[in-house]
Amino acid sequence: MKWSSLALLMLLWAHPGLAAASKVVVAEDPDKPQEVRVGVYVLSMGKLDVTTGSFTIDFYMSLKSDRPVPETFQFLNGRAADVDKITDEPNEKFYRILANLSSPINFRRFPFDAQELQVIMEDTKRVAGALVYVPDPAETGLDASVVFPGWLMTGWNATAAKHRYPAYKEDYSQYVFSVGIERVRMNSFIKTFLPVLFLMLITVSSFILNPDQIVVRLATISSSLVASAMFHISIAGQIPPVSYLTFADKFMVVTYFVLLVSFTLNISIFVLQGKKREGHAHRLDRWSKKLMYYGVPLLYCALFLTVR
């Protein structure tokens, strides 16, 4: 036995490559955080409630790691209504999840707004120094059958980053899966802006009338103002109250400005006619027609060019 051990030691000394080749298992670094690869594949999404930003989402989720996968995840922007575990291996978990989630809604470009519906996940116990989520593109995606009535799907994105909790002085790894949607622009334009633009067309066309029919012009402008105000109330009722002006609000502000200018010009012409200053009234009428025929279309075009 002693001679066999001595022979083995002499063989390893003569051929050190044999000792290196025998190392097939490398010990894990306990100081290195565990990496968990996350994949999310969306099967369907429910109707978006724009007043609260809430929606339902049905998706597959995979968790893979070279160590036992912890099942202490949570969704920060909602709750899982149903979790069905399909695969339950130490280093791999696979679920089908139905969740009720919510995302912040930005209405600044309404009715041409685009939104991001998010799935935000963190571990409940392990800080970023112990566990790190990593997106798994191979198992992430959006099923072709996923649709949102009235919205266009613009794609998806998966990211992971540290989420700092200043009150607790702790960092947690946060996984975020986002689905981009935007309103159908042509539908939004026809339903929201086209009626008001027809009212403005009628208002501008009233300047074709001679200054002698200034009363008819004033009646047309007054009717357009009332109709625009009522339509503005209808548009505002489609979204919750917000602390900023939406694009629709800016559009209506421009409309009110045009109507105010039209009303002021016609009142001025009416006053000049009452003072028997027909020459001044006709000059102001000619200037007013040029302003309305050219200025108003340019003003609306400039406004719509600001939408990106």
Give the pLDDT confidence of 187-200 residue by residue, as tens digits.
Answer: 999 999 999 999 99
Q: What distance in Å separates the CA atoms of residue 132 and residue 48, rounded to the nearest whole number?
A: 31
Q: What distance in Å separates the CA atoms of residue 141 and residue 156, rounded to the nearest whole number?
A: 7
272 neighbors 281 (Cβ within 8 angstroms): yes
Quick: pLDDT tens for 246-296. 999 999 999 999 999 999 999 999 999 888 888 888 999 999 999 999 999
Q: Which CATH architecture has domain 187-305?
A: Up-down Bundle (1.20)
| pLDDT of 207 strictly over 70 | yes
Percentage of the chain with pLDDT > 90? 78
- Mean pLDDT of the 32-47 span: 94
The domain locations on the chain are 34-183, 187-305
pLDDT for residue 46: 87
pLDDT for residue 13: 47
Neighbouring C-beta atoms of residue 195, cutoff 10 Å: 14
Give the sign of the dihedral formed by CA 167, CA 171, CA 177, CA 179. Answer: positive
In the structure encoding, which two tokens stand for residue 215, read together?
A: 């009363």
pTM attached to this predicted model? 0.81
**DSSP of 235-266, one letter per residue?**
HHTTS---SS--HHHHHHHHHHHHHHHHHHHH
Question: What's the topology of domain 34-183?
Answer: Acetylcholine Binding Protein; Chain: A, (2.70.170)
Quick: pLDDT tens for 91-129. 999 999 999 999 999 999 999 999 999 999 999 999 999
